[in-house]
Amino acid sequence: MEIDLKKPILDKNDKLAAELRERFAKNHVYVVDLLASPGSGKTSTILATIEALRDEFNIGVIEGDIASNVDAKKISNQGIPAVQINTGGACHLEADMIKRAVDVLDLERLDLIIIENVGNLVCPTDFDLGENAKIMILSVPEGDDKPLKYPGVFQVSQAVILNKTDTLPVFNFDTEAFEKAVHELNPHAPIFPIAATKGTGVDDWADWLAERIRQA
Amino acid sequence: MHEMGIISGVIDAVTASAQAAGATKVDKITLSIGEMTEVIMDCLTFAFEALSEGTMCEGAELKVNIVKPHSICLECSTEFDHDRFHLACPNCGSYETVLLEGREMTIDGIEVDVPTEGDDGADPSADGEASESMPTSDGDAAASGQTAGRTAPSADSPASCDERNPAPSACRDVPSPEPSAEPTL
Ligand SMILES: Nc1nc2c(ncn2[C@@H]2O[C@H](COP(=O)(O)OP(=O)(O)O)[C@@H](O)[C@H]2O)c(=O)[nH]1
Ligand SMILES: [Mg+2]
């Protein structure tokens, strides 16, 4: 017997993500899902973004990690509410994990939620978390050829942050080639060169984000 | 890596539909996967073999239709096929394009064995196969849903394949029991 299903495989996740998106909109919270490799500077970028935006907005952070809560501690040390999700081995976050984390946060009070996804350039790209924007961070030491190796993550992102630009003098990173490759994959995504730990370039990124938070 | 999670979703959904149709075994599963997703075919096949063991999907043929990316140009309305890297309109060179196909991840359909109760005259060999060979496969396999499971209180809620055949935690990429969400305030 043949049974016609025509059912999206990630049906459950997509429905839950849609519910979350509605909930975020109702509460006027803008949600960002940060995608990057381990060590590229996601936590550092979150800390720099908090510094730039905390006077104007109430910010919450969801930290996805395979294990540990060191990143969430770094955030909560800044007086920012942070929820740690330990994925227990999973290589990406899914909407049900975000839902559990969001239940702990005071959505009504928040303007911005930043999600630090699990460090991985592949798996998280296929999962909708109900976010307003996926943002990709690449760091200079990873090399300018990454758009060619991981096109998917560059395509699903609404903006690309190039971090650790302070290390450009010591790495053979062709910024022009990188920008061209990103542009070909995703002509609408702006690229923000920053050095998160030095604060360089963070203002342009923060302005771009602030504009969107105000409209949420 | 996330193919394990994808396949466990497929097996859950397929098992639910197959059980709802009164089937005892799944013969074939057809998926459509867009080339613009991050799904790797070899990993899908591997994940399916690993996770379907001991479920009613074990031994089923997994057919995957790969959907080529197809976009439309917003400037000149040309529709065109492309690969993962070259998204510009071949007619006018514009990058103002919208992907129409290529991000699919769907279960198109399944083929299942439904044992007949004798009154609808279906293929007798299928009947014999289901009632004789299935229960001999040992213990808690899919067949038990047919026999012992019938009187069990949980029989009408489709049991997930995961519960029947938990994969070793090392190769799972879906969180095992409950990922913890702890506020660290
Ligand atoms: N030189 C330099 N190092 C950075 C920068 N941003 C992050 N790092 C360092 O990179 C390492 C990983 O950063 P982290 O934010 O923890 O990365 P995550 O794993 O993506 O969250 C840390 O040692 C940071 O101090 C930067 O802009 N410049
Ligand atoms: Mg981190």
Residue corresponding to tokens 């996805």: A64
Q: Residue A205, Cα to own-chain centre: how many angstroms?
A: 13
Question: In angstroms, rounded to a whole number, what is the distance separating the alpha carbons of residues B112 and B110?
Answer: 6
Is ipTM over 0.85? no
Q: Is the CB of A162 under 6 A from ligand 1?
A: no
CB A122 within 8 A of CB A153: yes
**Would residue A1 count as lying in a domain?**
no
- Say how far apart CA A1 and CA A4 lie, in whole Å: 10
What whole-number distance in Å separates Cα of residue A93 and Cα of residue A130? 11
Q: How many domains does chain A have?
A: 1
Smallest CA–CA distance, residue A124 to chain B, in Å, is: 8
Number of compact structural domains in chain B: 1
Contacts of B66 (CB under 8 A, 6+ apart): B32, B33, B34, B35, B41
Would you say residue B81 lies in a domain? Answer: no
How much of chain A exceeds pLDDT 70, in percent? Answer: 100
A46: in domain: yes
What ligand has the least distance to the C-alpha of A42?
A: 1
For A168-207, how does the pLDDT look when each residue is reduced to its tens digit (9 = 90+)?
Answer: 999 999 999 999 999 999 999 999 999 999 999 999 999 9
- Give how far the C-alpha of residue A33 lies from the chain's centroid of Cα atoms, to the nearest Å: 3
Query: Best mutation site among A34, A42, A44 for ligand 1, i.e. most ligand atoms within 8 A of its Cβ?
Result: A44
Q: Which of B39, B107, B169 sits opposite A5 (nearest CB)?
A: B107
Q: Which domain holds residue A161?
A: 19-215
3-state secondary structure of B99: strand
Taking CB atoms and an 8 Å limit, are A3 and B17 in contact across chains? yes
Establish whether residue A119 lines the binding site of ligand 1, counting it when its CB lies within 6 angstroms of any ligand atom.
yes
A–B interface: beta-carbon pairs under 8 A: 145
Which residues partner with A139 through β-bridges? Answer: A163
More confident residue, A164 or B171: A164
Is A10 part of any domain?
no
Asked whether the beta carbons of residue A1 and residue B21 sit closer than 8 angstroms, the reply is: yes
A59 lines ligand 1 (CB under 6 A): no
pLDDT at B183: 55
Q: Residue A37: CB within 6 Å of ligand 1?
A: no
A-chain CB neighbours of B56 within 8 Å are: none
How big is the CA angle at A14 (ends A127 and B83), to the nearest 5 degrees? 50
In a domain, A107, yes or no: yes
Does a structural domain hold residue B185? no
User: B134: CA distance to ligand 1 center in Å?
Assistant: 56
pLDDT digit string (tens) for B126-177? 444 443 334 333 433 333 333 333 333 333 333 222 333 333 332 334 343 3
Q: What residues make up the domain containing B111?
A: 3-67+103-171
CA A47 to ligand 1: nearest atom: 15
Tell me: the pLDDT tens digits for A99-122? 999 999 999 999 999 999 999 999
DSSP-assigned letters across all residues of B107-173: EEEEEEE----SSS---HHHHHIIIIIHHHS-TTSGGGGTTGGGTSTTTTSPPPHHHHSPPPGGG--
- Identify whether B63 is part of a domain: yes
A105 part of a folded domain:
yes
CATH code at position A113: 3.40.50.300
